Chains A and B, each alone.
Chain A
Amino acid sequence: MEIQKLNDLVSQTRRDILRMVHKVNSGHPGGSLGCTEFLVALYNEVMELKDGTFDMDGKNEDVFFLSNGHISPVFYSVLAHRDYFPVEELGTFRLLNSRLQGHPTTHEELPGVRIASGSLGQGLSVGIGTAQAKKLNNDSNLVYTLHGDGELQEGQNWEAIMYAAAKNVDNLIATIDFNGQQIDGSTDHVLNMGDLEAKFSAFGWDVLHVEKGNDLEAVIAGLKEAKSKTGKGKPVCILLHTVMGNGVDFMMHTHAWHGKAPNDEQLEIGLSQNPETVGDY
């Protein structure tokens, strides 16, 4: 897809995120806005997907798992614009009887979602399992996962990180949303995780940084570089440097908008900074 079209999708996705959380006065805009370029790039430029169809097994196509399920607004918007379900359904986010639950779930059979997430730290193990199933099935497609950086404080991740390297799960690309923020403050303040690159490397992963995680072209280049590192015996980790709340000036560089919705006035400011492109839902 042309870069302009992708950037149009990024702007539209940011509008969707703001409008979704504003409508129900709940949800998580900060991390969603920070990961918009990544998910738009992944689904529209990087992943090999079977168009116009969704099945749970995901055989012979790339599979993505969102481990930090609270950034569901960006996930839902990207899935909808990739035609997994009608864009209009974004208006049901967090409403009673909606398939768009506060955190993603398979329970309501929403196309595009293969695992429930929200309770943190579980997505990497799931991704490893599917990556190993792909190997058993002689399926050469890849598994992608996304995790918050604060989420790495959950111990299950480190069980999974150790296992993936030991068992040469090299058809897996795990991306860490490296924004340095979590609910109670900066990750350094809450629980300093030290040198994450050194830690992943020491555990036996191939690690790369994407320094400009909110620059679409840099994200695409980083994902393609990561893809080139697969199949070489090591799992691959991307440390994606993003800005929480990116694209809405008053939400940037703070943890304050992790799980808080904008009011009417704030919504208008946010929307004015992200013009409508492919159309509001």
Chain B
Amino acid sequence: MGYNAGNFDVAVIGAGHAGIEAGLASARLGCNTIIFTINNDAVGNCPCNPSIGGTAKGHLVREIDALGGEMGRTADECFLQMRMLNRGKGPAVHSLRAQIDRRKYADTMKHKLELQENLILRQAEITDIKCDENGDWFLTTRMDAVFRAKAVIVATGTYLGGKIFVGETSYESGPDGIFPSKFLGESLRKLGLKTRRFKTGTPARVLKSSIDFSDLEVQEGDVPPIPFSYDTDDLGDNKVVCHISWTNEKTKKIILDNIHRSPLYAGKIEGVGPRYCPSIEDKIVRFENKERHQLFIEPCGLDTEEMYLQGMSSSLPEEVQTEFYHSIKGLENVVIMRPAYAIEYDCVDPLQMDSTLEFRNFKGLYGAGQFNGSSGYEEAGAQGLIAGINAALKVQGKEPFILDRASSYIGTLIDDLVTKGCNDPYRMMTSRSEYRLILRQDNADVRLTPLGRKIGLISDERWEKYLKKQELKSEEYKRIKSTVFAPTEKLNKILVSRETSEVTTGVRMIDLLKRPQINYECLKEIDTERPNLDSNIFEQVEIEIKYEGYIQKQLEQVEKMRKLEKKRLPKNVDYNKITGLRLEAQEKLNKVCPENIGQASRISGVSPADISVLLIWLSQNK
């Protein structure tokens, strides 16, 4: 038996994007917290793309920030280029993405952990996990140190039972040459957790000076760049550009000639890979008729010459990788610095968890990130934050914090995981949210900052700033309601140029903004009384006016959904004993153990008639 190394309220295993948010949230809520990592230099590592955000993921980052999490602020501090994706496709799908300086991001996050009160960052491999009859958890390290904690959050990412595949070569490893967590998986299984294997992959990193950029399309950042965090006032300028190239017939031939050497096609990988993140060989095999595939060349940082080849992940042998990369325009002489690889790892079926991310059958044990079957830094950070908050609240004997689907993408992500489960690594998408017209990235603060404040993660300063912004917003709303433009030639000229009908009488500014063709920008000239406000205020006001009907309709749907969510189902119900439920419904309900009627209604195989039966059964058992 090892030595007693200390007692903590909350212990977090893993210091990736999930572990960081979990540890920070728990410590900031006043819990004595420790974060374990196999290598202190791998804190906040980005082993895949050097970017944060993107479609739907940008929503998650904004939401993490609105609740008082760290990812958005750090991304702003380390940004190299900002782009608002989907401009012109509608406000619901606007999504922010930052190219970031990968090393700086990791160092900044590590430093923040070190500076955080109530938080210890500890380099150690956890090899054993146990729980005693009092519900206390004991974590043993490779050095035989035993740490006691009231709650544990597992955020092991791709390290848990990690195994790397490159062609015929495979070996046990975490990402970037860091050793994997070899014993914890077995210990978790012994405890009674069901684990499974998932797989993911990453492209090669190559030397910048070996790329010929002369013929490649350039992708610039937005001017001015917009920050993630509501704390960031000024980002400064974009610092880099990205480039675009394409695969060709030659690339395709090289890959198809060598496909038998892919560990996936040779059947060596048992893990399930993400559908949305296919390797280049997957894309070529599955979409045989597509002549070419796009790739992005992204810098990894300002102090490095490593470049990331987005879209070109592969698990083919190194020499095949070199050959097919060389077939691509601009990469004819490219020098590989780190080869592409596939990595397989242990994760759990999230149906074993509640919406707090606590395991139903293991009180005080939480999971977050890839360990829960998701994929992506942002998905991990979001879950880490919620697991961290709930572990802390539990230790402090407080009510849990649950976000529902109508509140946020975070709530949608977690509800999808714990209600529907996932058969491949789960990625957030805007099409996964039925309430996407109200869950926009521009209004994450309105939706979540009051909740973050209530929990205790929003500082006084930030709260004041938020309240001030709301005040300015409502003043602006009043202003445009009372601003009336005369039917001048100037106004009609604007209207005609925007291809919308002219006016013959005075018109309120609010009514003009209702027209899809009209925005704040084009009225600038005649709107002489316009105050100098943060652009996000104009954005929110305009969207709320323009989409008022749709927003209203979605709010009504939300109200309906919330009524069902309020009808809580007791825990430990044996659904086989409820008469009137169909067999399929009984099975599914027993597996998922929904927390309320709303959740039950989203389980596939549970019909409206089954829900009626549950409602009656509920009122019978009041």
Do A and B belong to a common assembly? no
